[in-house]
């Protein structure tokens, strides 16, 4: 018959203590759980893009610039892919989309390559230095660096945001890889 060690181990002492105090510990756990549930009703969470990303993320500074320019939570990007964006037909598609989105209820204004002061000449980057500089300035906002991703910045009214976003999505279904992005869309 094995003999028990002369000194009980720490594990056996802890086990005996837990068994002896199981009912008071269970009651304490129940009370703490109830208090926690009640306190959790007072919790608030940040519904901003800033809270979703690390502050060192390189996308945060352009996002803040966008918010300062168009107003926080009110700018939505309508984005699509067009391999022929810098052709007359591609410009016409973008101009048509920009006008269609601007006419949607709940859209206050739209900005895209089609709304620049250069008009159609914005696509003449090879012969127009002003167009080339403006395109470079707008890269990452209304045109991708690949020069085939187009975006229309839609500034929304404060009312019926979800209905407006739904209408923008419906329009973009007709475009290749059309999508809607922005803080208002994510929240």
Contacts 24+ apart (CB under 8 A), 18-25: none
Burial state string for 109-122 with b = 16 or more CB within 10 A and e = fewer than 16: ebbbbbbbebeeeb
pLDDT tens digits for range 17-45: 999 999 999 999 999 999 998 888 887 76
- Give the start-to-end residue ranges of the domains of the chain: 10-40, 49-186
Q: What is the pTM of this model?
A: 0.64
pLDDT tens digits for range 110-129: 999 999 999 999 999 999 99
């Amino acid at each position: 018959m094995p003999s028990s060690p002369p000194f009980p181990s720490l594990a056996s002492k802890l086990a005996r203590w837990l068994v002896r105090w199981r009912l008071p510990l269970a009651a304490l756990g129940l009370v703490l759980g109830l208090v926690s549930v009640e306190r959790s009703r007072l919790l608030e969470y940040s519904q901003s893009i800033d809270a979703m990303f690390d502050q060192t993320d390189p996308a945060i500074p352009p996002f803040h610039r966008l918010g300062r320019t168009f107003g926080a939570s009110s700018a939505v990007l309508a984005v699509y892919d067009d391999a022929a964006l810098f052709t007359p037909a591609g410009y016409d598609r973008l101009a048509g989309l920009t006008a269609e989105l601007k006419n949607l209820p709940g859209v206050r204004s739209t900005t895209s390559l089609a709304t620049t002061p250069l008009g159609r000449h914005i696509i003449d980057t090879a012969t127009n230095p002003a167009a080339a500089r403006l395109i470079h300035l707008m890269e990452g906002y209304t045109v991708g660096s690949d020069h085939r991703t187009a975006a229309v910045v839609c500034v929304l009214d404060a009312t019926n945001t979800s209905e407006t976003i739904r209408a923008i999505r419906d329009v973009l279904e007709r475009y290749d890889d059309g999508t809607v992005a922005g803080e208002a869309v994510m929240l």
